[in-house]
Amino acid sequence: MKMRLFCGLAVFAVTLTACGGNANPTATTQQQPPTATMKPLDKIDPAAAKSEGQLNLIAWEGYVDDSWVKTFTANTGCQVHAQYAGSSDQMVSLMANGGGGQWDMVSASGDADLRLIYSGDVRPMNEKLIPDYQYFQTYFKNPGYNTISGIHYGISLQWGPNVLLYNTKKFKIAPTSWSAVYDPANKGLVTAYDYPITIADAALYLSKSQPKLGIKDPYELTKAQFDATVQLLTQQRQLINKYWPDASTEISMFQNGDAQIGAAWPYQTIQLLAASAPVADTIPSEGVTGWGDTWMLATKAPHPNCAYLWTAYVSTPHVQALQALFFGETPVNTKACGEMEAQSAGSCRQYHANETDASYFNTIKFWKTPITTCDDGSQNCIPYDQWVSAWTTIKG
């Protein structure tokens, strides 16, 4: 089970031009990363891959599952070795110095991508070497968190929204707004993700409930906007029964009654429903934040041909479907729908795996590293290291 915990590791404070708006599937022009001029492979050499013989990955737990790894190794000769990470911060730490000549790839989430890119720890990748790239949902071909000035620093893999999960017995009328998790009437019933990026959830809510604050992007906050968001979360702290650091903790909280409402991933909903728990989830009127994972190539990757073969393999419909259904994620490859339906009828629509409506993606603000430079070029936005400090204070 994937855990996106905050482990208190050192944070890379980036002070560069911010990503473009969430609705735009193509990244805006930004300051060039250190590895921007590195030429990616122009072809994959299967013979060279067999000579390399292995692939060393940093991944979320379960992203390198035997159900698809064994076939990959049999077909390519690349033996896969995985180091599972417990947080995005741990991934950033392990990938220091371009992977140190040890690691080939990392399955980074959007809150880590810019840190990896601008620290020079990952290098450009050639999307033309990934045959199934042409079938990716439009947004995930060039998302702003892994593509800069048209250069791909990784290939998108899976994604998901951070939905509002609630107990249907307690909330007989489905909540339609995030206001429910800030409502004093729900004191002791609320849970929230124990991670600094949760600040973006509150900022997104304030962007709709207090439009005078002028919040356009929940990851690009001026001091006044940031202070208002921190104040809201400090008030919410009195309502929180317990923060959840990983999916299994939140699942247990809903099962034993310690939580009745709070942000979650679809994975939690699926597991709780499978256990016959009285729960449902929804995308509130304000929209949601979300995460998108990317396989990124280490700058000093010792096995680049195996790395590209792996990326191409996990982008295929069958493997995309296997991983999606196992984790409750959504594949970026639209061709995975047929595979998903064969394994679990109705799952393609349930996970929005065949989504083509841009308005749906406009409801999701995907994670990206908060940085100092705002989208308008001003230096007024609060960087990630201050989010970390604020989150520690909020929790008390």
Q: Pick the residue with more confidence: 8 or 243?
A: 243
Average pLDDT, the chain: 90
pLDDT at 29: 42
pLDDT at 364: 93
Strands laid side by side in the 279-282 sheet = 190-191, 261-264, 163-167, 279-282
What is the spatial distance between Cα 275 and Cα 219, in angstroms, rounded to a whole number?
A: 35
pTM of the model: 0.84
- Name the strand (E) or helix (H) holding 57: strand 54-60
Q: Any idea where the domains of the chain sit in the sequence? A: 161-289
- Contact 382/363 with Cβ under 8 angstroms? no
CB atoms under 10 Å from CB of 343, counted, come to 14
Residue 345, beta-bridge partner list? none
What is the spatial distance between Cα 190 and Cα 137, in angstroms, rounded to a whole number?
A: 34
On the question of pLDDT at 16 being above 80, the answer is no
Average pLDDT over residues 9-13: 33
Burial of 207 (0-12, 13-18, 19+ CB in 10 A): buried
Average pLDDT over residues 181-195: 97
Burial of 67 (0-12, 13-18, 19+ CB in 10 A): exposed
Which ranges of the chain would DSSP assign to H, the alpha helix? 46-52, 66-76, 88-94, 110-118, 199-209, 223-236, 247-256, 266-274, 304-314, 317-327, 336-343, 347-350, 358-362, 384-395
On the question of pLDDT at 20 being above 60, the answer is no
* Percent of the chain residues topping a pLDDT of 90: 79
Region for residue 346 given its phi and psi (left: phi exceeds 0; alpha: psi -120 to 50; beta: otherwise):
left
On the question of pLDDT at 367 being above 80, the answer is yes
- Contact 271/251 with Cβ under 8 angstroms? yes
- Name the strand (E) or helix (H) holding 159: strand 155-161
How far apart, in Å, are the Cα atoms of 52 and each of 63, 80, 283, 315?
Answer: 22, 11, 45, 21
Task: Give 30's pLDDT tier (boundaries 50, 70, 90).
Answer: low
On the question of pLDDT at 332 being above 70, the answer is yes
Pairing of strands 190-191, 279-282: unpaired
We find that the CATH architecture of domain 161-289 is 3-Layer(aba) Sandwich (3.40)
Cα-based torsion angle of the residue sequence 127, 349, 194, 272 in order, rounded to the nearest 10 degrees: -140
Report helix, strand or coil for 53: coil
On the question of pLDDT at 9 being above 80, the answer is no
* Percent of the chain residues topping a pLDDT of 70: 92
pLDDT tens, position by position, 148-166:
999 999 999 999 999 999 9
On the question of pLDDT at 11 being above 70, the answer is no
Q: What is the C-alpha R_g of the chain?
A: 20
Burial of 223 (0-12, 13-18, 19+ CB in 10 A): exposed
What is the spatial distance between Cα 64 and Cα 325, in angstroms, rounded to a whole number?
A: 14
Which ranges of 77-222 would DSSP assign to H, the alpha helix? 88-94, 110-118, 199-209
Amino acid identity, position 55: L
Average pLDDT over residues 235-258: 95
Of 7, 25, 306, nearest to 147 (Cα)? 25
What is the spatial distance between Cα 127 and Cα 97, in angstroms, rounded to a whole number?
A: 24
